[in-house]
A and B are shown apart, each in its own frame.
Chain A
Amino acid sequence: MTMSSTLPSTQISTKQRGKAHVLLGMLWRDKFAFFATVFLILAVLCALFGPMLLREAAVAQNLRARNLAPFTLERGWLFLLGADALGRPLLARIVVAAQNTLMIAAGAVVCSGVVGALLGLVAGYSSERLSNVIMRLADVIMSFPSLLLAVIVLYMLAPSVGNIVIVLAITRIPVYLRTTRAEVLEIRQRMFVQAAKVMGASSLRIVFRHILPMVVPTLVTIATLDFAFVMLAESSLSFLGIGIQPPEVTWGLMVAQGKQYLTNAWWLAFWPGLAIILTTLSLNLLSNWMRVALDPAQRWRLEIGGRKNG
């Protein structure tokens, strides 16, 4: 998967290459999607290896470098983005924090997305009675204050990272559930689903083969933006005493801690906030690109666009 092999592939007839090559070629032609991918790969690498390599540097305090402004190089490249209130290099902290941040955000978004989508499919396709029960359950979760849920979890279970994921996932379920159901209600009326029914396809097959693929794009759109929401919401749970505690750190926690310095040392909250924005943006751009790239009916858009550009 090196870049050198994808570069010339644009000139070669796509037929001779595998599907992966075609996709990579298309990715290279869409610069937004390309940089999104690069950023995400970088983030994942940070999450995997960051704590191993930079943990020491990320927790080393130095009050003399307190709130050091960004873009000063005399203290080394780790201080490129400046230092926090205890003189710890922000760059190192952002890299190290990637692990906890991505783990919690991905955990919460995937859990809520999967559970929400499954319940939504059931609610949209099954009997009205069952559907009604599920929808009222969603109403209850929506009206249950998430902070109260967090406080209750704190009192009943010991503080741990897993509990953050549980609290965040539960509060986000209704969004996916209701959206899935709304889509299913519409799609199940369409011609091709009715046709499949007539031809005797089982409910399970209809739901997973015909309906789910139509629902996924909307869910992914919501999920990518939920990433940002979850990363920021997570810091408010640390405040209660659940989960991540200093000197462990996440981007959300860095943003929250940097808040009070916003007017005199903006970089404390800015860089981790930027990391959150870029991650969300990348996920969204990539998912938009994938929706087009994986849909044979729409792929022409990318190919045309590519030719124009290059």
Chain B
Amino acid sequence: MKGKRLLLGLMMTASAAASAWAQEAKDITVVLDEEVDLVEPCMATRSNIGRIILQNVSETLTELDVRDKKGLMPRLAESWEEANPGTWRFHLRKDAKFSDGSAFDAGDVKHSIERAMSDKISCESPRYFGDTKLETKVVDDNTIDITATPAQPILPLLMTLVTIVPAETPIEFTREPIGTGPYKLTEWKAGQSITLTRRDDYWGTAPEVTKATYVFRADPSVRAAMVAAGEADIAPLISELDANDAEMDFSYPNSETFYMRLDHSIPPLSDKRVRQALNMALDRDAFIGTLLPKGAIKATAIVPPTTLGWNPDVKVAPYDPEGAKKLLAEAKADGVPVETPITIVGRTNNFPNVVEVLEAAQQMFEEVGFKTKLQMYEVAEFEKQYSKPYPENRGPLLVAAQHDNARGDPVFSMYFKYDSNGRQSGIANPDVDKMIAEATAATGEARAADWKKLIAYLHDDVVADVLLFHMVGYARVNPRIDFTPTIATNSQLQLSEIRFK
């Protein structure tokens, strides 16, 4: 009898231990590709940080919905309108609370904007505002006026990039982010994991996931293996090469556009025919479904098709090696040094098989008569080649880079990549500068039309660069979970969108 009871006790202990090992039913583990150095809310636009805290811990006034294509949606602001030219008035929700218990009000918004723009801290946000200066005026607890100089027609969209922190947050990087979101950061084991736990006092609908643990594995095969072995539930970034299980693996447009930046100031790239020849030499279709995933789309603009003002009438240059040869011969006859070796500069680990993709492009260029050399660099050296000031005595360069714009408006790309003063611009064209300035200031229908015009002009008339592909990412999701990645998955992973089957 005694023995029996003992055995029963042992068995109970054993089963308790077993259940402690298994995942709690509504807890999930997410495996990411790199450890975050910071969980600072004002850095949430950096994708590795955003995937953890954006809209989970720290919320924004407005939110861009791409899942149901509803466009700009309210979040911490319930509504907004342009009060005077240049001044936007935001009406804030009254029921939101920070995870430290304090109530959310206009003072918090004011402090968050000032903090993000401050000289004393290196936040990412100022990059999206460029030379625009922001001024805030608290009207009452739940109303705030934000004035931009010069006037900023897309200010409500820009507010998707500013996370709100309590007014007491010091102006230095914090390791304990406090936000109004449905989760709070409860544990951070440096180098190992970060844990978010669901809050009971969230203002919105309570999400299903109770706890999310983020772990970090640099190797894509290991990330895929962890989901396969049941150790993780979501791996937002796995390699296409490991995505071999239709049950678990989903592809999604990852908002990156792969292109080759041409430096128009250096011959032979200064000649339009040479640039056209480069574009015609590439058999873009040969890449898709072989070196690149099937879902990759041939690009005609540096922004993905979901962006405002994307122009469906612009057509990809046809694959025409004979035409390219002819253009090169014409250019040569006019004294253009088409035989100067051109260096293709790539970044190692830009995406899984970047070296193979560039080697294939190199061979296509050589087949029509270009002389090329491939040079792969790590990120710091690559950055020197990609951004101004460009190195002295550089030869003709094709810099192969990826550009990420999931923000819905080309303003986040065009100035940097095409304005005469843009840091990665290869062109200096007064007409383009003017068109960018006009489109940036325009609103509504006119804005879309202006961007459309610019995109066509850059592609067809200037032949600014060699645009290649809008890229595709792969995520592996444990079958017990109901989650489909979207174009936003590259920059955020809202736990509230995750359901259980």
Contacts and interface: CB of A to CB of B under 8 A. Distances in A.
Interface of A: 59, 61, 63, 66, 84-86, 151, 154-155, 159, 238-241, 245-247, 257, 260-264
Interface in B337-359: 348-349, 352-353, 355-356, 358-359
A263 B360 contact: no
A44 B419 CA distance: 55
B241 interface: yes
A257 B359 CA distance: 13
Contacts of B291: 63, 66, 85-86
Contact of B356 (A85, A154, A262): A85
A85 B291 CA distance: 7
B381 A247 contact: no
Given A66-B291, A241-B381, 5 more contacts: A61-B359, A61-B363, A240-B378, A240-B381, A247-B359
Nearest to A147: B378
A56 to B, nearest CB: 13
A86 B357 CA distance: 9
Contacts of B241: 260-261, 263-264
B377 interface: yes
- The prevalent SS among residues of A at the interface is loop
Contacts of B348: 239-241
B84 interface: no
A55 B362 CA distance: 17
Contacts of A257: 355-356
Nearest to A253: B355
Interface of B: 220-221, 239, 241-242, 244, 286, 290-291, 348-349, 352-353, 355-356, 358-360, 362-363, 373-378, 381
Given A257-B355, A260-B353, A61 B360 contact: yes
A263 B356 contact: no
A238 B297 CA distance: 30
Contact of A260 (B221, B244, B363): B221
Given A86-B360, A154-B381, A241-B376, A260 B290 contact: no
Contacts of A84: 356
A252 to B, nearest CB: 14
B460 to A, nearest CB: 29
Nearest to A88: B359
13 contacts: A61-B359, A63-B291, A66-B290, A66-B291, A85-B356, A86-B356, A86-B360, A154-B381, A240-B348, A241-B378, A246-B355, A260-B353, A261-B241
B362 to A, nearest CB: 7
A-B pairs, 7 with minimum CB distance: A241-B377, A85-B356, A63-B290, A239-B348, A240-B378, A246-B359, A61-B363
A260 B359 contact: no
Contacts of B376: 238-239, 241, 245-246
B156 to A, nearest CB: 42
A169 B378 CA distance: 22
A59 to B, nearest CB: 8
A22 to B, nearest CB: 50
Interface centre among A66, A154, A246, by most chain B C-beta atoms within 10 angstroms, is A246
Nearest to A238: B376
Nearest to B286: A63
B344 to A, nearest CB: 10
A145 B378 CA distance: 17
Nearest to B362: A247
B221 A246 contact: no
Contacts of B220: 260
A249 to B, nearest CB: 10
B359 A263 contact: no
A239 B375 CA distance: 10
Contacts of A261: 241
A239 B244 CA distance: 27
A59 B362 CA distance: 11
Contacts of A260: 220-221, 239, 241, 352-353
